[in-house]
Amino acid sequence: MRIVLDAMGGDYAPEVVVEGGVWAARELEVEVILVGQEEAVRQELEKHDTSGLSLPIVHASQVIEMTDKPAQAVKAKKDSSMVVGMDLVKKGEAQAFVSAGNSGGVMVAALFRLGRMKGIQRPALSAILPALKEPICILDVGANTDCKPEYLLQFAIMGNVYMERVLGIEKPRVGIVSTGEEEGKGSQLVLEAYQLLKGSGLNFIGNVEGKDVLFGLAQVVVTDGFTGNVMVKLTEGAAGLLGEVIEEEIKRSPLTALGGLLAKPAFRRVKKRLDYSEYGGAPLLGVNGVVIVGHGRSNAKAIKNAVRMAKQTVEGGMTEAIKGEIERRVEGERRG
């Protein structure tokens, strides 16, 4: 399998990205195509032992920066690693695209170069988060800040396919984020989407409140891209805040500091369990190809895991499965 890795994307690119790419090529036995400024990428590659690995470089002279405006940048920078990389997928020279760069840029490049799937109204960015016992999929987390009820139904369908095909969870519980558990609670958008989900044939469990989301009440958590984006970032912030406050308080006395020292392995395990980098990325669902958006602050492990997510997504036959599901539903509607 061939996976494109945007070597210029991410806060620590190209250094850390190339490191993650080498790691992925070795561990996952895939070909990792590094797209980016050839000289810079080659210099990074030379720092690693790459014997026996397939890590071709494809040159792209431009870089879409984190601060660039997505649509403008994608149009203007035709020789950027994102655009060149996406085109490799479009031409069938690679099966997936991974980037930890400007996430808006990745989404726009995917839309412009790969295109929206037939029948899909809006692609959705899906965060895979660690819940108490098993991962949950929240979508949309930022591709669409303003949504219609029909989009949310499609997000649910795509999330459902992803959980079944890629994570092997049969008939995942699907819920919609709202302000109360009972039917009838929530915004106008939620009330309307609720009705669509109720009649969708999915394993719909109804509304999920903010306090229950991370406990895995629903495995596919559907929401608009504004709320979803705020939720995912707030979770990150809450964990960060709690971590900081715990550290401060533990250091406040010698005895608690000793306790903290002894408990360190436990904290390390907590971090590992709740670490986004264990998942590595957010699949963009609903475009014609496998696209994984990594966290801007991705370290090498997160990059490696993002490539693994891409590999699993290709192996799960995601794109075809979503296409099939959408066609089946359109066909079903036509027949009444």
Q: Residue 268's CB: how many other CB atoms inside 10 A?
A: 10
Binding status of residue 149 toward its own copies by CB under 8 A: no
* Shortest Cβ 14–its own copies spacing (Å): 24
* Shortest Cβ 258–its own copies spacing (Å): 6
Binding status of residue 72 toward its own copies by CB under 8 A: no
Binding status of residue 278 toward its own copies by CB under 8 A: no
Binding status of residue 76 toward its own copies by CB under 8 A: no
Give the position of tokens 């670490």.
275
Binding status of residue 269 toward its own copies by CB under 8 A: yes
Give the position of tokens 């920078």.
77
Q: Do the bridges between strand 57-59 and strand 282-285 make them parallel or antiparallel, or are there none, so unpaired?
A: unpaired
Binding to its own copies (CB under 8 A) within 216-235 occurs at 225-227, 229-235
User: Are the C-beta atoms of 175 and 200 separated by less than 8 Å?
Assistant: no
Give the position of tokens 């000793």.
258
* Shortest Cβ 34–its own copies spacing (Å): 28
Closest CA to 29 of 307, 285, 236, 268: 307
Give the position of tokens 């979770």.
235
53 Cβ contact list (under 8 Å, min separation 6):
22, 25, 26, 32
Q: Which of 132, 201, 324, 328 binds its own copies (CB under 8 A)?
A: 132
* Shortest Cβ 234–its own copies spacing (Å): 4
Q: Residue 13's CB: how many other CB atoms inside 10 A?
A: 26
Binding status of residue 71 toward its own copies by CB under 8 A: no
* Shortest Cβ 152–its own copies spacing (Å): 13
* Shortest Cβ 154–its own copies spacing (Å): 19
Q: Among positive and negative, which fits the CA dihedral 8, 12, 18, 24?
A: negative
83 Cβ contact list (under 8 Å, min separation 6):
60, 74, 77, 109, 113
Binding to its own copies (CB under 8 A) within 196-215 occurs at 209-215
* Shortest Cβ 144–its own copies spacing (Å): 9
Q: Among positive and negative, which fits the CA dihedral 208, 212, 217, 222?
A: positive
Binding status of residue 183 toward its own copies by CB under 8 A: no
Nearer to its own copies, 61 or 145 (CB): 145
Binding status of residue 186 toward its own copies by CB under 8 A: yes
> Which pair of structure tokens corresponds to residue 175?
């819920």
Binding status of residue 252 toward its own copies by CB under 8 A: yes
Binding-site ranges for its own copies (CB under 8 A) = 131-132, 142, 145-146, 177-179, 186-188, 190, 209-215, 225-227, 229-242, 244-246, 249-250, 252-253, 255-256, 258-267, 269-270, 273-274
